[in-house]
Chains A and B, each alone.
Chain A
Amino acid sequence: MATLYVDGQAFSVDPTQNLLHECLSLGLDLPYFCWHPALGSVGACRQCAVKLFRDEGDHQGVIVMACMTPADDGTRISLVDEQARDFRARVIEWMMAHHPHDCPVCDEGGECHLQDMTVMTGHVHRRYRFPKRTFDNQHLGPFVNHEMNRCIQCYRCVRFYNDYAGGTDFGVFGSRDHVYFGRAADGVLENEFSGNLVEVCPTGVFTDKTLKAHYTRKWDLQSAPSVCPHCGLGCHTTVAEHDGVLRRVQNRFSADINGYFLCDRGRYGYAFVNAPERLRRTSLRNAAGRLNLAPADALLQELCTRLGGNMPLIGIASPRASLEANFALRTLVKPENFFLGWSAVEDACARTMLAVARGIAPLASLAEVESSDAILVLGEDITQTAPRMALAARQAVRHAAFAKAKALGIPVWQDLAVRQAAAGLKSPLFIASVDATRLDDAATECWRGAPDDMARLGFAIGRRLSREEAGGETFPSAMEGFSQRVARALAGAARPLVVTGSSLGCPALLDAAAHLVGALRTLGLPAKLALGMPERNTMGLALMGGESLHTLEQATQKLPACALIVLENDLSRRIGEAAADRVFAQAGLTVLIDHKRHAGVERADYVLPAATFAEESGTTVNHEGRAQRFFQVFSPPDDIQASWRWLRDIGRGLGREPCDRWTALDDVLHTLEETLPVFHGLAQAAPEATYRRHGLKLARKPHRASGRTAVHAHLDIHEHQPPTDCDSPLTFSMEGHQGSPPGPAIPVFWAPGWNSVQALSHFQREVGGTLCGEGPGLLLIAPAQQVPEFFQEIPPAFVPRDDALYFVPAWHIFGSEEQSAGSPAVRERIPAPYVALRPEDAARAGLAAGDTAALEVGAVRLRLPWIAHPELPQGVGSLPVGLPAMPWLMLPAWGAVAKASR
């Protein structure tokens, strides 16, 4: 630690940091624009000027930029010095010269860093009396709104989009007072992380277009800490509601997981909650087979009467439902009748992932992915399946540059200097994949192969690391060469990482990755494994354990005597519509609990509307086995309630213990912890419902929430009592604790004078570091201490066939995930169905450009436009999975392709 004197007062600071970082960490107000804790310093805006003094006797001092000056020991500065203050006021006056002062009609108004900084510097009077320069704005797609006139040229957007996220379709144009940030022409921002511009931009140039469609000021939003439900990474989000409509999702900082950034699926996938077509009312099928609305009480009573005391229940669980909901189902139907609600392939992958994590490979958090200095991505297209991990991997390649900068005496926060010194130098990132990926541009080298060949590649690298003979196995020379380079890079790293996942439906790939991590650990390296998982609670469901749908399909003879309860699951997405229909048709009675309208709704006898992630509190387990609590944002209308409450109500109606005793979420959690030791400690993942700060619950609404007596005035002149929340320490009101609660329970980032997202600094121990009151998190899986002999089975090499192509699933960030695909903005980005073929394979099938391909995959016949993907291996094709317009296919699978007749 070093000593920094600020206006005569001594503070203990980190000398490897800059003055701005340290001043903000000390809680001192110093205005800034271009600096960002994740992007570093470039000294572009000149706003954070301070007076620097040579020594105690120096009273003159010089003005320096705090963000560009190291916090060396003994440094003496002044923030309140008159010249420094005047300098800062002049700088903001220049910036504001062309600013339109349109705060009342600007979406950023009320949470604008520019507003905050302008007030902080005391610039209150405008002297510029000339015409302002104006710009045309661009249409940037469904996510981001563009209003260039508000720009203050801080360059944060281009630094994030191009330098940090690797975007290529965005830039800065012009010079002098005509500097323009945007695309070369109107069009959709292609980068998967474009939505972060909304938070990175300190003013209203880039704003959330989906929020604009149902705009509410920050001070009128009711917010809660949440966890993104759109993949297995579990990024922390802040979700906000007003008047029964979910309005937006923002990043919620987490040092271990998502840091400052989210992917666009996570930010814009929320609107399925507001979808008019979703399930809102309880309904039951009448004798004529029609689904009719029915009051919840009467429906439950009728259901329980029909179930009687002894009709066996079969439950189908869901990886997109919370642990509490799944556990409530398991309790109600008994463990032997509890099915995991995924296909045999999904089951095999989930089991392997869990076995691997328990047996051999410690799982990496996103922060650990970012801190890895050599990465092998084995098979998983993480940009599409676990997008935030791709952004982390993109930063990980910078370690070589950091090391070089350090050797040159350049501090890491000197962003531009570090990037220039790097001159393209990258840490090793090797990508093995079926097809080209959006991360390839960051890679040292890419390798393409069929899934089994990638598994073989993994073993080849593992064998090289452990210097073992391959047991008679020989690998092609191209694979040998690549594996040698990868092995050398991984073995030479301090923190090597292997990334894989379940998206290809190939357990051998997971085995190979585990084998590789095992080999690295045997060498004494702290190697880790990062897994891409398709759904938010895949790991939680795997930990809970049970049989897959495949087992249920084998045992259909017992279905007619049973009542089937399907929890938040569209079975047609798991086993295909025909098989799902069979399961529904054979069951004696069917109950569906879900929020999404899908084919199952047309089959079920009883439909109970479930709460979405925004309307209930609960717990999920992310890809690294971290238990995470998400909190309800608002009370859902109509009959909607949390799935576990529906199951509790059924249990109560049947007099089943212990469900009938559950009244609040913590009751379920405590039973869960007692029943399944693997979830021990789960209730402590976040403060429990009894938590109070200064005797108060935590307010979801800010102090300035307006019009609480007017919001229902068209219905009733009395102020409504806020709904009670017995599941969480939060309250649906502005009345409650407004300060800084513990990390996992912060509803919104706000501090006096800091209305924008930059208020976050006030909630961190030091800027960019852990949130105050946030523990290390609860990790439910720890690997064995001893590295066992593990996974030695090498799959045979892939052999292309003359009569068929091997079709693998192609995942899409927009479209492959079920819930986000229901959001209108995301829907605009979902690709049209296609089949991707290697041009040689297409030619062999007689397909010319523009032809329609006729496919036969399993029992499914399809006609699709084909597109050329020259990087696909010979004999392998790919088909998009999960798109709303695509039929379900059991992939990977062999299939025939030919030219479709007209």
Chain B
Amino acid sequence: MLSEEERRDIEREAPNYATRKALCIDALRIVQGHRGYVSDQALQEVADYLGLPLSHVEGVATFYNLIFRHPVGARVILVCDSVSCWIMGCERLLDRLRAHLETDVGGTSPDGRYTLLTAPCLGACDFAPVLMIGETLHRDVTAETLPDLLGKGG
């Protein structure tokens, strides 16, 4: 069962949409916000709550890269690897992150604090290279400033 809080948050979004089907994305986002990721169990709960077939909800959940179907770390790092950031050296950043977090792209650091992912663009090309830690966008990141960002915990 979805928690009372989750249901309340979902219903708050409901008036914005014509159908329950359209509410699916928000419901998944909300459940992920509460639980960190969308487990098989959570997926079934969303389907039951909205009265949608499980396959439909799974279709939506897997379409969106930022709906996580596996457990992730406490924070998700999104490193932009698109053209501008690539020119400006995002690969060096990724190397540093891999070494520092002891995990590859797609993995979670052994201490469970960070999950490392790439993103095709974060919309801040004029400040490349950029990355996001949790909800915060960091611009003009260099190998030197990186440990500081991680140290602060994002």
Q: Which residues of A contact B (CB under 8 A)?
A: 168-175, 180, 183-184, 423-424
Residues of chain B with a CB closer than 8 A to A170's CB: 55
Report the Cα distance A170→B58, complex, angstroms. 10
Residues of chain B within 8 A of A180, CB atoms compared:
62
6 additional A-B residue pairs with CB within 8 Å, beyond A168-B55, A173-B62, A184-B43? A168-B53, A171-B58, A174-B63, A175-B63, A175-B64, A183-B55
Chain B window 54-84, contacts with chain A (Cβ cutoff 8 Å), 1 for yes, 0 for no: 1110110011110000000000000000000
Minimum C-beta distance from A253 to chain B (A): 29
Q: Which residues of B contact A173 (CB under 8 A)?
A: 58-59, 62-63
- The residue of chain A having its C-beta at the shortest distance from the C-beta of B47 within the complex is A184
- Complex Cα distance A423/B65, Å? 28
Whether B63 lies near A169 (C-beta < 8 A) is: no
Q: CA–CA, A483 to B154, complex, Å?
A: 66
Q: How far is the CB of B134 from chain A (nearest CB, A)?
A: 24
Q: Which of B8-30 contact A (CB under 8 A)?
A: 18-19
Instruction: For the complex, give the distance between the alpha carbons of A395 and B59 in Å.
Output: 25
B43, B56, B64: the one contacting A171 at CB < 8 Å is B56
Residues of chain B with a CB closer than 8 A to A174's CB: 62-63
Q: Which 10 A-B pairs have the closest CB atoms?
A: A171-B55, A168-B53, A173-B62, A171-B59, A184-B58, A184-B54, A184-B55, A174-B62, A175-B63, A173-B59
Residues of B within 8 A of A (CB): 18-19, 43, 53-56, 58-59, 62-65
Interchain nearest-CB distance for B142 vs A (Å): 31
CB pair A175 B62 closer than 8 Å: yes
CB closest chain-A residue, reference B64: A175
Of all chain B residues, the one with the shortest Cβ separation from A424 is B19
In the complex, residue of chain A having the shortest beta-carbon distance to the beta carbon of B52: A168
Q: How many angstroms from the CA of A424 to the CA of B21 in the assembled complex?
A: 12
Residue of A nearest to B56 (CB): A171
For A183, list chain B residues within 8 Å (CB): 55
Q: How far is A424 from B54 in the complex, measured between Cα atoms in Å? A: 20
Complex: A282 Cα to B122 Cα, angstroms: 79
Q: Which of A168, A173, A184, A424 has the most CB of B within 10 A?
A: A184
| Cα of A183 to Cα of B58 in the assembled complex, Å | 9
Identify the closest chain A residue to B18 (Cβ): A423
Contacts of A175 in B (CB 8 A): 62-65
In the complex, A175 Cα to B60 Cα: how many Å? 10
Which residues of chain A are near B54, meaning CB under 8 Å?
169, 184
Chain B residues with CB under 8 Å of A423's CB are 18
Minimum CB–CB distance for A141 against chain B, Å:
15
**Which residues of chain A are within 8 angstroms of B53 by Cβ–Cβ distance?**
168-169, 171
A182 nearest in chain B by CB position: B55
Give the shortest distance, in Å, between B23 (CB) and chain A (any CB).
15
Within 8 Å CB of A168, what residues of B? 53, 55-56
Would you give the shortest CB distance from B120 to chain A, in whole angstroms? 10
A745 to B27 Cα, complex, angstroms:
55
Residues of A within 8 A of B62 (CB): 173-175, 180
* A170, A171, A175 interface centre (most CB from chain B within 10 Å): A171
Cα A486 to Cα B32 in complex, Å, equals: 45
A–B pairs, 20, beta carbons within 8 Å:
A168-B53, A168-B55, A169-B53, A171-B55, A171-B56, A171-B59, A172-B59, A173-B59, A173-B62, A173-B63, A174-B63, A175-B62, A175-B64, A175-B65, A180-B62, A183-B55, A184-B43, A184-B54, A184-B58, A423-B18
Task: Give Cα distance in the complex from A172 to B61, angstroms.
Answer: 11
A170's closest neighbor in chain B, by CB?
A: B55
Q: Which B residues are CB-close (under 8 A) to A172? A: 59
Query: How far does the Cβ of A340 sit from chain B's closest Cβ, in whole Å?
Result: 45
Contacts of A184 in B (CB 8 A): 43, 54-55, 58
Cβ of B19: which chain A residues have Cβ within 8 Å of it? 424
User: What separation, in Å, do the CA atoms of A423 and B19 have in the docked complex?
Assistant: 10
Q: Give the residues in chain A near B63, CB-CB below 8 Å.
A: 173-175
State which of B18, B43, B55, B65 has its C-beta within 8 Å of the C-beta of A169. B55
Distance in Å: Cβ of A467 to nearest Cβ of chain B: 39
The residue of chain A having its C-beta at the shortest distance from the C-beta of B53 within the complex is A168
In the complex, what's the smallest C-beta–C-beta distance from B94 to chain A, in angstroms? 20
Bound-complex Cα distance A169 to B64 (A)? 20
Kindly name the residue among B19, B56, B58, B63 whose own CB sees the greatest number of chain A CB atoms within 10 A.
Answer: B58
The docked-state distance in angstroms from the alpha carbon of A180 to that of B59 is 9
Residues of B near A424 (CB, < 8 A) are: 19
How far in angstroms is the closest Cβ of chain A from B4? Answer: 26
CA distance A184 to B62 in the complex (A): 11
A179 to chain B, nearest CB (A): 9
Distance in Å: Cβ of B141 to nearest Cβ of chain A: 26
CB neighbours (8 Å) of A171 from chain B are 53, 55-56, 58-59
Residue of B nearest to A161 (CB): B55
A487 to chain B, nearest CB (A): 30
Query: Shortest Cβ distance from B42 into chain A, in angstroms?
Result: 13
How distant is B92 from chain A, measured CB to nearest CB, in Å?
25
Chain A residues in 8 Å Cβ range of B64? 175
Give every chain A residue within 8 A of B59 (Cβ-Cβ).
171-173
Bound CA–CA A173/B62 (angstroms):
6
Tell me the complex Cα distance, A691–B19, Å.
59
- CB nearest to A183 among chain B residues: B55
CB distance from B21 to the nearest CB of A (A): 10
With both beta carbons as reference points, the residue of chain A lying nearest to B59 in the complex is identified as: A171
Q: How far is the CB of B115 from chain A (nearest CB, A)?
A: 19
B119 CB to nearest chain A CB (Å) = 13
A184–B56 alpha-carbon span in the complex (Å): 9
Q: How far is the CA of A183 from the CA of B18 in the complex (A)?
A: 27
A169: chain B residues within 8 A (beta carbon): 53-55
In Å, the complex CA distance between A385 and B139 comes to 66
State A175–B19 Cα separation when bound (angstroms).
23
In the complex, what residues of A have CB within 8 A of residue B56's CB? Answer: 168, 171
**Which B residue sits closest to A169, measured CB to CB?**
B55
A173 to B18, CA, bound (A): 24
Name which residue of chain B comes closest to A168, CB basis.
Answer: B53
A168 to B55, CA, bound (A): 7
Q: How far is the CA of A180 from the CA of B61 in the complex (A)?
A: 13
- Inter-chain CA distance A423–B63, complex, in Å, is 23
In the complex, how many angstroms separate the beta carbon of A365 from the nearest chain B beta carbon? 32
A169 CA to B47 CA, complexed, in Å: 12
Inter-chain CA distance A843–B65, complex, in Å, is 49
Bound-complex Cα distance A180 to B63 (A): 10
Cα–Cα, bound, A18→B43 (Å): 40
Q: How far is the CA of A171 from the CA of B56 in the complex (A)?
A: 6
A171 (CB) vs chain B CBs: closest residue: B55
Q: Could you tell me the distance between the alpha carbons of A641 and B63 in the complex, rounded to whole angstroms?
A: 57
Chain A: CB-nearest residue to B65: A175
CA distance in complex: A423, B21 (Å) = 12
Q: How far is the CB of B121 from chain A (nearest CB, A)?
A: 15
Distance to closest chain B CB from A474 (angstroms): 38
Give the complex CA separation of A175 and B63 in angstroms: 5
In angstroms, Cα B56 to Cα A170, docked, is 8
Distance, CA A778 to CA B15, complexed state (A): 57
A260 to B62 CA separation, bound complex (whole angstroms)? 32
Max chain B CB contacts within 10 Å: which of A168, A173, A423? A173
A175 to B56, CA, bound (A): 14
A173 CA / B55 CA spacing, docked (Å) = 8
Residue of A nearest to B57 (CB): A184
Chain A residues whose C-beta falls within 8 Å of the C-beta of B43 in the assembled complex:
184
What distance in Å separates the Cβ of A206 from its nearest Cβ neighbour in chain B?
15
Tell me the complex Cα distance, A180–B56, Å: 13
The distance in angstroms between the C-alpha atoms of A170 and B54, with both chains bound, is 9
Residues of the A chain whose Cβ atoms lie less than 8 Å from the Cβ of B58: 171, 173, 184
A184 to B43, CA, bound (A): 10
CA separation between A102 and B129, bound complex, in Å? 43
CB distance from B81 to the nearest CB of A (A): 15
Instruction: Write the chain B residue with the least CB distance to A423.
Output: B18
Compute how far the CA of A387 lies from the CA of B91 in the bound complex, rounded to whole angstroms: 58
A602 nearest CB across to chain B (Å): 48
Distance between Cα atoms of A574 and B54 in the complex (Å):
42
Min distance, Cβ A646 to any Cβ of chain B, angstroms: 51
Give the most central of B43, B53, B59, B64: most A CB within 10 Å.
B59
Instruction: Tell me the nearest residue of chain B to A175, going by C-beta.
Output: B63
